[in-house]
């Protein structure tokens, strides 16, 4: 009536309709609303709401919108799908509008199940192209029984049911991921245009998904008519559901008891235990959510920390407490309905960031946006470690009381089945490295199921790519994901790092860093459908193919030697090979699960544009926050990704696309023209690879990076087959990589002409390859030993490739030790597969010595700078602020039991090495001696490390890690400068540390920017600025003369003599120094892989020297006793800067292979 017949009285008709609806909802009309009722009222709102084409205001309609209607629909238990399918909707357009309106309301209310239901309803009624149409599902990692022949090869595979594997056999972690991604896929259909709401759904808590999954599993068994719980008691998910039901009731009861106890304590005016009340923290989340968090966190920690079938108690309690804190803060953010700023600074044509005016404008805009955001949020302060442990202890103790499993065993004598209820978790103690360690162990039945359904790596939905541009970074802890709190830096429990970062952020000195992270996060990506189809086909085949491990390990088990019991050497060889085989088997399964994640995520985001929010580690290096599928990942991850925007190739872009293909294939040490010619010679192979990747000759599989090579083959073939190849719209990223980038920075810092030539800073007709150069030197030395019949020379002759020595050469200037070099080379020799595993260690020892000898004076300039950095860091770590030194020497000592003989100033050595990057980012090295605090819990006494408690620094780590950390901070600065300049010029940019990516047509522009920013960085006297910062920051710091006993102090003899230190004291230090060198040479530690994301602990380089003559031993107590009250100013003994060489950094402009 309001629409057609009596539209003149529209307001009257609508008033009556809404009034009648209100009476029905309030119970005055004595009738129950139906799906038709809600459909009519939803239609009325769609047609006549204030934002519609015919807005009509009525008093009875106030307060009604899709959210209020959906709330009533849910409370009346009416299916939303029936509402949108009602006959009241006469057109497809109105039905679609109704679905979208209810879906938006469902996302706002956090009802992901309603979004699922509406997505299914929409998919049944529309004929729109779906990106996932005809895309098969990925077969998950199944439980497979393997039968092998006598020679160890696989003869037969048996699964419980034929592929595809039924849902019940999907590993727990993958099941969780699939259910969550299933919601994302359904939401695509109903929220295709509203990406912000889809992103909100994507960030919904994992716990909501988990409870639905466990409940569904338990209901399934009940539907199958299995009342006897023992018949399905071995199912992990069913156990977890029953634990959850009992635990949430137990938590509610225990919280009520605790509240009564705390009220009594407060009434009696007594101080509660540990001085804190626990119930305010436990009431932040509902018991249902607390129960799920506790169960999932403990299951995830299974097998962690070197504890078999269990976990360390302290780690478990902290993890549960931290998970409760994170979930509460996530819920708070969602409730606030934050309006997210969408503007990203430094668009093309805007004010240049690098001018002072542009910087002030950038800071002002960011401060205003941050103030607006903070006004909309109600964040609590960070929880202390004590609170986390107490909350975790309360919840874990409740779980251990209620969680049980039923185990059955058959009596061999009577044949009777005996069943028993047993605890699912129990507390125990183990000894590790001589220390008594409290652990929480899993019942053997639970541990057995965990080995078949691994959940240790369950993917949290907050770690998925984003569907909208990330929230701009407004402060150090506000940016990235829209509704989940993330930090601009990965602190690793270092309070000191967080304080320095917060201070710099509040002072407005991090604007360029935040802007750089915004640039990296705003780069759009999409899934490469052509490559994904090939990956999925290979994955589902279960075969080993191009770095994808097989579904079943295909390497034969080592054969047991018949003389093993009598021949110790044969026994040792067999055990070594058996261990390697077991490790390879476990690694195969782990790799398979990791790739399974990538495939599932890629499938879910087919057809979408995605974004990867970034943050930095403590050195300033940028990383994507989503860990599983990103461009910093492996070859497969990179091959699956394209830029979300296309650009025409152009003539130069087509050339760079060909060069890129040659680089990926491994033909990257030739000139550019030769690389282009290489592609022309293999055009037939390229076409075959693109058109028949699996059925053809498979030329692409022989590439160094096969999946990226396949993506490039497909893109190049499409471009060449298009009517105008130079006009082809290309989305493939093309890389420009630095040549041993750490050495490039060292050569530029020191003006080292020889080193610059080796790493392509100087112009040349062909690219230099320092790794091949060293490998040839090593081979030449091995040939000399071969002539003398050396055992390992015979074993290694002709096997020292560029790859074997690459990592050791790259890390030599970072301070790699002999032990570290040996470990690196041993890994490479094992990967070759043509050297017996039991001989790899001794062969690596021989080869490491050769590599270190061959490098010699090749990087002399870099070595001098490294020594200067190391010495400065060692002195800083030994220093003490003057005010603290005076206080420690004058304050009265309060004796607590046994008197310590240690000088008091030793407890004041808390000075970290701190410096500021050219972009203003403060870098604080976190290496400290850990202090532990004892906390009493219901399970045991837990010792936790509190980052807020001051502790002395680890001076050895501070010194050895400073050179690589400083160089990494420089390459991070160079990358950020390049990113900002690329954004200012409208160039798409992404990076993997020292590998810079853009469209093929933009390579020449980006190359010019890379060189300009590198020259600008190193034209600013970086080392001089660092030395000046040290002198200002540590101006009033003192170094105890006794603390200067250690490596590297010989060079300070002249400085000490100038400071009126007596010759006898200097002689005493020199003798103790020589003794420390002898001891230090025996206790070298290795170097971790520089490619790892973890912090790098590098030790001093130790040369192999002749055994010195015995000296009179100098006791440390003698040194400390004699020099206990002698101190020198730190700034007076800082070593002078190394003399700079003749290389001019501006010559890089002429080097075409600097980045290539």
Write the CA distances from 328 to 281, 379, 429, integer angstroms. 10, 10, 32
Query: Coil, helix or strand for 883?
Result: helix
When mean pLDDT is compared across 141-150, 408-417, 418-427, 525-534, the lowest value belongs to 141-150
**Tokens linked to 523:** 């780069």
Spell out the long-range contacts of 521-524 with Cβ–Cβ below 8 A and sequence spacing 24 or more: 521/469, 521/470, 521/480, 521/611, 521/612, 521/613, 521/614, 522/344, 522/469, 522/470, 522/611, 523/611, 523/612, 523/643, 523/644, 523/988, 523/989, 523/990, 524/609, 524/610, 524/611, 524/643, 524/644, 524/645
Report CA dihedral (526, 530, 534, 536) to the nearest 10 degrees: 40
- pLDDT of the residue at 713: 96
- pLDDT of the residue at 705: 92
Most confident of 181-190, 424-433, 478-487: 478-487
In terms of pTM, does the model score above 0.75? no
- pLDDT of the residue at 935: 61
Reported confidence tier of residue 827, pLDDT bands at 50, 70, 90 = confident
Write the CA distances from 239 to 459, 539, 824, 971, integer angstroms. 21, 31, 45, 51
- pLDDT of the residue at 297: 82
Q: How many Å apart are CA 756 and CA 750, to the nearest integer?
A: 10
Only one residue has tokens 């630095």, namely 738
- pLDDT of the residue at 597: 79
Q: How many Å apart are CA 1087 and CA 1079, to the nearest integer?
A: 19
- pLDDT of the residue at 1104: 33
When mean pLDDT is compared across 786-800, 923-937, 1077-1091, the lowest value belongs to 1077-1091
Q: Is residue 154 scored above 70 in pLDDT?
A: no
- pLDDT of the residue at 231: 34
Q: Is residue 1083 scored above 80 in pLDDT?
A: no
Reported confidence tier of residue 849, pLDDT bands at 50, 70, 90 = confident
Only one residue has tokens 């050769």, namely 850
Higher pLDDT, 688 or 1113: 688
**Tokens linked to 700:** 């692409």
When mean pLDDT is compared across 186-200, 541-555, 906-920, 1065-1079, the lowest value belongs to 1065-1079
Q: Is residue 847 scored above 60 in pLDDT?
A: yes
Residues 6+ apart with CB under 8 A from 112: 106, 183, 201, 204, 208, 209
- pLDDT of the residue at 652: 94
Which conformational region is residue 925 in: left (phi greater than 0), alpha (psi within -120 to 50 degrees), or beta?
Answer: beta
What are the beta bridge partners of residue 1037?
A: 881
Q: Is residue 453 scored above 80 in pLDDT?
A: no
Higher pLDDT, 296 or 1071: 296
What are the beta bridge partners of residue 610?
A: 525
Q: Is residue 532 scored above 90 in pLDDT?
A: yes
User: What is the full DSSP assignment across 377-430?
Assistant: --PPPPPPHHHHHHHHHHHHHHHHHH-EEEEEEE-TTT--EEEEEEESEEEEEE
When mean pLDDT is compared across 72-81, 369-378, 950-959, the lowest value belongs to 369-378
Higher pLDDT, 1102 or 192: 192
- pLDDT of the residue at 1030: 94
State the average pLDDT over residues 1035-1063: 65
- pLDDT of the residue at 217: 54
- pLDDT of the residue at 59: 76
What are the beta bridge partners of residue 991?
A: 996
- pLDDT of the residue at 163: 39
When mean pLDDT is compared across 845-849, 853-857, 908-912, the lowest value belongs to 853-857
Q: Is residue 1148 scored above 80 in pLDDT?
A: yes
Q: Mind listing the pLDDT tens digit for each residue in 1021-1039?
A: 999 999 999 999 999 898 8
- The CB density around residue 151, as the number of other CB atoms within 10 Å, is 8
Q: Is residue 309 scored above 60 in pLDDT?
A: yes
CB burial of 674-703 (b: ≥16 within 10 Å; e: otherwise) equals ebbebbeebeebbbbbbeebeeeebbbbeb
Reported confidence tier of residue 983, pLDDT bands at 50, 70, 90 = very high
Q: How many Å apart are CA 958 and CA 955, to the nearest integer?
A: 5
Dihedral of CA 221/224/230/232: which sign?
negative
Q: Is residue 451 scored above 60 in pLDDT?
A: no
- pLDDT of the residue at 839: 83
- pLDDT of the residue at 678: 94
When mean pLDDT is compared across 54-68, 222-236, 617-631, 895-909, the lowest value belongs to 222-236
Higher pLDDT, 642 or 17: 642
Mean pLDDT across the chain: 77
Most confident of 407-416, 741-750, 938-947: 741-750
Q: Mind listing the pLDDT tens digit for each residue in 327-340?
A: 787 777 666 554 44
When mean pLDDT is compared across 532-536, 772-776, 899-903, the lowest value belongs to 899-903
Q: How many Å apart are CA 1057 and CA 1049, to the nearest integer?
A: 13
State the average pLDDT over residues 387-407: 89
State the average pLDDT over residues 631-656: 93
Higher pLDDT, 827 or 931: 827
Q: Compute φ and ψ for 540, nearest 5 degrees.
A: -70, -20
- The CB density around residue 1125, as the number of other CB atoms within 10 Å, is 11
Query: Coil, helix or strand for 624?
Result: strand
Q: How many Å apart are CA 261 and CA 253, to the nearest integer?
A: 13
Reported confidence tier of residue 1004, pLDDT bands at 50, 70, 90 = very high
Q: Is residue 416 scored above 50 in pLDDT?
A: yes
Q: Mind listing the pLDDT tens digit for each residue in 570-585?
A: 888 888 888 888 877 7
State the average pLDDT over residues 75-94: 80
Most confident of 380-389, 856-865, 896-905, 950-959: 950-959
Q: Is residue 149 scored above 50 in pLDDT?
A: no
Q: Is residue 862 scored above 80 in pLDDT?
A: yes
- pLDDT of the residue at 166: 35
Query: Coil, helix or strand for 442?
Result: strand
Only one residue has tokens 């934002």, namely 51
Higher pLDDT, 854 or 316: 316
What are the beta bridge partners of residue 648?
A: 729
Reported confidence tier of residue 164, pLDDT bands at 50, 70, 90 = very low
Q: How many Å apart are CA 1078 and CA 1095, to the nearest integer?
A: 28
State the average pLDDT over residues 955-965: 89
Q: How many Å apart are CA 28 and CA 26, to the nearest integer?
A: 6
Catalytic positions, please? Answer: 737, 806, 994
Reported confidence tier of residue 361, pLDDT bands at 50, 70, 90 = low
Q: Percent of the chain at pLDDT above 90?
A: 22
Higher pLDDT, 959 or 111: 959
Q: Is residue 225 scored above 50 in pLDDT?
A: no
Q: Is residue 372 scored above 60 in pLDDT?
A: no
Higher pLDDT, 223 or 728: 728
Q: How many Å apart are CA 236 and CA 214, to the nearest integer?
A: 9
Q: Is residue 341 scored above 70 in pLDDT?
A: no
């Amino acid at each position: 009536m309001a629409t057609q017949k009596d539209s003149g009285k529209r307001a009257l008709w609508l008033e009556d309709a809404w009034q009648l609806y209100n009476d029905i909802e309030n119970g005055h009309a004595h009738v129950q609303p139906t799906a038709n009722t809600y459909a009519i009222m939803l239609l009325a709102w769609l047609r006549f709401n204030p934002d519609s084409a015919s807005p009509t205001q009525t008093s009875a309609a106030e307060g009604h919108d899709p959210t209020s209607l959906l709330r009533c629909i849910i409370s009346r238990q009416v299916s939303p799908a029936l509402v949108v399918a009602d006959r009241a909707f006469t057109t497809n357009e109105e039905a679609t509008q109704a679905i979208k309106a209810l879906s938006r309301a469902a996302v706002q209310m956090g009802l992901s199940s309603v979004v699922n239901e509406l997505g299914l309803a929409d998919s049944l009624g529309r004929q729109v192209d779906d990106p996932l149409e005809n895309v098969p599902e990925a077969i998950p990692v199944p439980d497979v029984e393997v039968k092998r022949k006598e020679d160890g090869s696989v003869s037969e595979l048996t699964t419980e049911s034929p592929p595809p594997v039924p849902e019940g056999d999907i590993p727990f972690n993958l099941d969780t991921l699939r259910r969550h991604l299933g919601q994302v896929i359904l939401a695509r259909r109903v929220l295709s245009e509203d990406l912000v709401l889809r992103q909100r759904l994507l960030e919904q808590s994992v716990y909501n998904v988990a409870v639905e999954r466990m409940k569904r599993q338990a209901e399934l068994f009940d539907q199958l008519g299995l009342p006897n719980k023992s018949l399905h008691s071995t199912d992990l998910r069913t156990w977890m559901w029953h634990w959850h039901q009992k635990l949430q009731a137990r938590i509610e009861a225990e919280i009520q008891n605790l509240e009564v106890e705390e009220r009594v304590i407060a009434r009696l005016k007594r101080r509660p235990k540990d001085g804190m009340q626990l119930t305010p923290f436990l009431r932040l989340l509902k018991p249902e959510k607390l129960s799920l968090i506790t169960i999932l966190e403990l299951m995830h920690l299974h097998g962690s920390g070197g504890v078999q079938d269990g976990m360390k108690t302290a780690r478990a309690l902290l993890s549960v407490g931290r998970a409760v804190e994170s979930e509460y803060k996530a819920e708070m953010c969602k409730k606030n309905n934050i309006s997210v700023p969408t503007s990203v600074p430094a668009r093309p044509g805007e004010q240049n960031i690098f001018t002072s005016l542009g910087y002030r404008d950038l800071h002002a805009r960011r401060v205003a946006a941050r103030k607006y955001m903070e006004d909309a949020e109600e964040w609590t302060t960070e929880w202390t470690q004590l609170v986390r442990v107490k909350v975790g202890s309360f919840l874990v103790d409740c779980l251990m009381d209620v969680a049980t499993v039923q185990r059955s065993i058959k009596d061999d004598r009577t044949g009777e089945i005996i069943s028993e209820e047993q605890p699912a978790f129990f507390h125990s103690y183990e000894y590790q490295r001589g220390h008594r360690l409290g652990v929480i162990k899993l019942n053997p039945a639970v541990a057995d199921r965990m080995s078949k359904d691994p959940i240790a790596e369950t993917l949290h939905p907050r770690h998925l790519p984003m569907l909208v541009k990330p929230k701009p970074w407004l402060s150090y802890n506000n940016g990235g994901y829209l509704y989940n709190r993330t930090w601009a830096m990965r602190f690793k429990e270092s309070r000191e790092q967080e304080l320095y970062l917060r201070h710099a952020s509040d002072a407005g000195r991090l604007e360029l860093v935040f802007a750089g992270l915004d640039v990296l996060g705003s780069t759009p990506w999409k899934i490469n459908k052509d490559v994904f189809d090939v990956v999925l086909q290979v994955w589902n085949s279960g075969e080993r193919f191009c770095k994808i491990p097989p579904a079943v390990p295909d390497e034969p088990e080592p054969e047991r030697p018949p003389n093993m019991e009598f021949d110790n050497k044969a026994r040792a060889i067999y055990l070594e090979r058996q261990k390697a085989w077991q490790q390879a088997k476990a690694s195969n399964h782990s790799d398979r699960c990791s790739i399974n994640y990538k495939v599932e995520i890629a499938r879910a985001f087919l057809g979408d544009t995605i974004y990867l929010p970034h943050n930095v580690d403590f050195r300033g290096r940028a990383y994507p926050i989503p860990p599983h599928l990103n461009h910093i990942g492996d070859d497969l991850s990179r091959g699956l990704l394209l830029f979300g925007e296309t650009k025409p190739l152009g003539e130069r872009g087509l050339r760079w696309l060909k060069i890129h293909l040659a680089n990926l294939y491994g033909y990257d040490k030739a000139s550019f023209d030769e690389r282009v010619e290489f592609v022309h010679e293999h055009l037939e192979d390229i076409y075959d690879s693109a058109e028949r990747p699996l059925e053809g000759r498979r030329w692409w599989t022989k590439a160094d990076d096969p999946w990226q090579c396949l993506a490039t083959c497909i893109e190049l073939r499409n471009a060449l087959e298009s009517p105008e190849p130079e006009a082809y719209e290309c989305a493939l990223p093309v890389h420009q990589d630095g040549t041993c980038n750490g050495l490039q920075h060292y050569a530029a810092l020191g003006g080292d002409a020889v080193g610059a030539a080796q790493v392509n800073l100087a112009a040349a007709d062909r690219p230099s390859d320092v790794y091949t150069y060293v490998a040839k030197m090593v081979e030449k030395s091995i040939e000399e030993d071969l002539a003398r019949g050396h055992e390992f020379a015979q074993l290694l002759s002709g096997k020292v490739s560029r790859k074997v020595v690459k990592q050791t050469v790259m890390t030599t200037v970072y301070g790699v030790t002999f032990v570290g070099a040996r470990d690196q080379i041993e890994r490479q020799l094992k990967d070759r597969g043509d050297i017996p595993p039991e001989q790899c260690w001794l062969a690596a020892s021989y080869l490491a010595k050769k590599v270190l000898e061959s490098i010699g004076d090749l990087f002399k300039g870099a070595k001098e700078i490294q020594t200067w950095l190391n010495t400065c860091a060692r002195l800083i770590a030994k220093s003490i602020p003057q005010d603290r030194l005076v206080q420690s020497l004058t304050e009265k000592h309060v004796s607590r039991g046994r008197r310590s003989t240690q000088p008091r100033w030793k407890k004041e050595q808390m000075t970290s090495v701190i410096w500021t990057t050219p972009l203003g980012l403060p870098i604080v090295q976190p290496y400290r001696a850990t202090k532990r605090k004892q906390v009493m819990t219901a399970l045991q006494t837990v010792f936790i490390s509190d980052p807020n408690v001051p502790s002395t620094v680890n001076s050895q780590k501070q010194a050895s890690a400073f050179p690589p950390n400083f160089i990494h901070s420089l390459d991070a600065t160079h990358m950020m400068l390049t990113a900002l300049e690329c954004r200012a010029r409208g160039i798409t940019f992404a990076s993997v540390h020292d590998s810079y990516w853009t469209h093929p047509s933009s390579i020449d522009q980006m190359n010019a920017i890379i060189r300009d920013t590198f020259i600008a960085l190193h034209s600013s006297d970086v080392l001089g600025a660092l030395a000046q910062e040290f002198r200002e920051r540590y101006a009033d710091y003192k170094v105890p003369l006794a603390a200067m006993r250690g490596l590297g102090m010989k060079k300070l003899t002249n400085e000490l003599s100038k400071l009126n230190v007596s010759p006898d004291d200097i002689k005493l230090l020199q003798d103790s120094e020589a003794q420390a060198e002898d001891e230090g040479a025996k206790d070298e530690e290795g170097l971790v892989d520089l490619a790892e994301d973890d912090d790098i602990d590098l030790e001093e380089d130790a040369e192999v020297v002749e055994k010195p003559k015995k000296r009179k031993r100098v006791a440390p107590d003698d040194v400390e006793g004699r020099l206990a009250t002698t101190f020198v100013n730190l700034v007076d003994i800082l070593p002078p800067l190394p003399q700079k060489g003749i290389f001019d950094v501006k010559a890089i402009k002429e080097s075409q292979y600097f980045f290539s």
